[in-house]
Amino acid sequence: MSSTNSFTVLYSVQKSKSTMNPRLTQSQQRTICAQLGRVKLQLLYKASIHGFTGAAFHQRCDNRSPTVSVGYNNSGFVFGGYTKQPFSQSGQYVNDDQAFLFTFDCENLIKYPVTSTAHAVKMIANSGPYFGETLVLVNASQAVAYSNPGNIYNFPAAQMHGNDLNLTECEVYQVEGKFSMNKKRKELIESIKSYKPTVSSVTQPRVLLIGPVGAGKSSFFNSVNSVFRGHVTSQAISGSSSTSLTTQFRSYSVKDGREGKPLPIILCDTMGLEESKGAGLDIDDLSSILKGHLPDRYQFNPSAPLHSESHGYRTSPGLKDKIHCVAYVIDASKVSIMPKGLEEKLDAIRRKVNLMGIPQLVLLTKVDEACPLVKEDGTNTFFLCSVIQMQEVGSRLGVPLSCIIPVKNYSEELELDMNCDILLLSAVIQMFRFVDNYFDELSDRITLETCSLE
């Protein structure tokens, strides 16, 4: 998938999900997940949207497993069942020794385990989830439940659903386990480790991080570094301050482990942008940075731009010294209150970078602070909450949504988190795609110039 399409697709998918919000509360989801281990729930089917029919249910849910099916009625009962077996339309019973039915008493889960495992679930084409002739949701393609407690599952009907079998909603969630997320994490790590630029003279493309003070530039490097170190670490100076904690130009190489090989990327950190003139990163220094003149550990001086006599100044930088991608680091919780002067600085920088033909993307940080729901669920909710911030950033900075990447840096965590890792690694992959765009444009330009000389 191309760099421009990947996040467009992600945005489109998440936007569509925003119209299919789970009725199961975050607290109820956590309670169910506590029964199943370190998992999350992904909503597959919602009868009020897709239809109270067996066909709609099977179209969305067949061959997906494990699943949690939930029914809701006007009496306020929330009830359903779990099975590890994938749904189908075979008409047969399937064996499941881990299946169970459940209901909620306030926020407490009451569980009814399967007693006849060979008949745990039946695969009926014209109905929704069908738990062993005992509980059926969307029965015979109608917005009703069928209930007949007995030998397969035994429960008090009044406690389960209050004897109200008319459904106001039916939902089916896929249970996504730690294994699938861990597999995704490993795939991303291997893709990063094996990446090679299309230009042989560059082994480590350079990505420049630009953003307001406190947006999380240094924290982004620390977070990516933490993923590959295997624990939360803080090599670059980061924290909270009204002025930039970064006072030097730094070129950070990420290693694969404590004594591992350097990864094929260099993250370049700069002073933070500040609204007032003569403070923070000087825009006049930016051209020198982008062209590769700036040495590592150059001490910034906002009142005096870099000049050719500065210590370590590269007079003839090679392609490997130049910046191949620019990433703007923007705090999602402060997008709506970004000062006008800061917005104007970012616009001036964007124009300068555009003129040099360097691809640009946005890392949208601190979405968990902008949207409290993210702290409850760092996966789908993260993206659903970030859509508004993505739209506002895109509008204010003139950046397409396909170039805006939501991430969560490590800031207060003591241990690594799978969700954070996947978002951070995905951001690095997207940087590589933009770097490829840079080298593709460079190659096309060289070809064009060669042809014009012939």
Give domain status of residue 27, yes or no: no
- Listed in sequence order, the DSSP H helices in 195-331 are 217-229, 283-290
The reply to whether 108 and 249 lie within a common domain is no
The reply to whether 342 and 244 lie within a common domain is yes
Mean pLDDT, residues 416-427:
88
Give domain status of residue 106, yes or no: yes
Query: Does residue 424 have a pLDDT over 80?
Result: yes
Our CA dihedral for 230, 231, 234, 235, rounded to 10 degrees, sits at -30
Query: What gap in Å lies between CA 275 and CA 272, rounded to an integer?
Result: 10
The reply to whether 227 and 340 lie within a common domain is yes
The reply to whether 365 and 422 lie within a common domain is yes
Helix axes 418-453 and 178-193, enclosed angle (nearest 10): 30
Query: What gap in Å lies between CA 287 and CA 310, rounded to an integer?
Result: 15
Q: Hey, is 62 helix, strand or coil?
A: strand
List, as one string, the DSSP characters of 178-215: HHHHHHHHHHHHHHHHT---SSTT-SS-EEEEE-BTTS
pLDDT tens-place string over residues 123-180: 999 999 999 989 999 999 999 999 999 889 999 999 999 999 999 999 999 998 766 7
Query: What gap in Å lies between CA 301 and CA 454, rounded to an integer?
Result: 46
Give domain status of residue 421, yes or no: yes
pLDDT at 90: 92
Residues sharing a CB contact under 8 Å with residue 446, sequence separation 6 or more, in sequence order: none
The reply to whether 152 and 232 lie within a common domain is no
Give domain status of residue 388, yes or no: yes
User: Does the predicted model carry a pTM greater than 0.75?
Assistant: no
Give domain status of residue 20, yes or no: no
Closest CA to 408 of 399, 419, 397, 394: 419
Give domain status of residue 219, yes or no: yes
Q: Hey, is 360 helix, strand or coil?
A: strand
Query: Does residue 10 have a pLDDT over 70?
Result: no
Which of 178, 211, 242 terminates a domain? The answer is 178
The reply to whether 139 and 242 lie within a common domain is no
| CB half-sphere exposure, 99, CA atoms < 13 A | 31
Closest CA to 346 of 367, 322, 362: 362
Q: Residue 31 belongs to what H/E stretch? A: helix 26-36
pLDDT at 74: 95
Which of 178, 205, 238 terminates a domain? The answer is 178
pLDDT at 214: 83
End-to-end CA, the chain = 36
Q: Which residue has the tokens 């694969």?
A: 256
Give domain status of residue 32, yes or no: no
Number of domains in the chain: 2
Q: Are 401 and 9 in contact (CB under 8 A)?
A: no
Q: Which residue has the tokens 């909620």?
A: 104
Which of 118, 145, 178 terminates a domain? The answer is 178
Q: What is the DSSP letter of 105?
A: E
pLDDT band at 411 (very low <50, low <70, confident <90, very high): confident
The reply to whether 308 and 202 lie within a common domain is yes
pLDDT at 328: 93
Phi, psi (rounded to 5 degrees) for 208: -95, 130
The reply to whether 135 and 205 lie within a common domain is no
The reply to whether 76 and 110 lie within a common domain is yes
The reply to whether 160 and 203 lie within a common domain is no
The reply to whether 281 and 229 lie within a common domain is yes
pLDDT at 53: 96
Give domain status of residue 16, yes or no: no
pLDDT tens-place string over residues 289-335: 899 888 778 776 656 666 667 667 788 889 999 999 999 998 887 87
> How many residues would you count in the chain?
454
CATH number of the CATH domain containing 309: 3.40.50.300
Rounded to 5°, the CA angle 271-274-278 comes to 85
Domain that holds residue 97: 38-178
Q: In the chain, what's the furthest Cα-to-Cα distance?
A: 88
Q: Are 295 and 249 in contact (CB under 8 A)?
A: yes
pLDDT band at 223 (very low <50, low <70, confident <90, very high): very high
Closest CA to 247 of 284, 212, 297, 207: 297
Query: Does residue 61 have a pLDDT over 90?
Result: yes
| CB half-sphere exposure, 236, CA atoms < 13 A | 32
The reply to whether 152 and 219 lie within a common domain is no
Give the burial class of 324: count Cβ atoms within 10 A of its Cβ; 0-12 exposed, 13-18 middle, 19 or more buried: buried
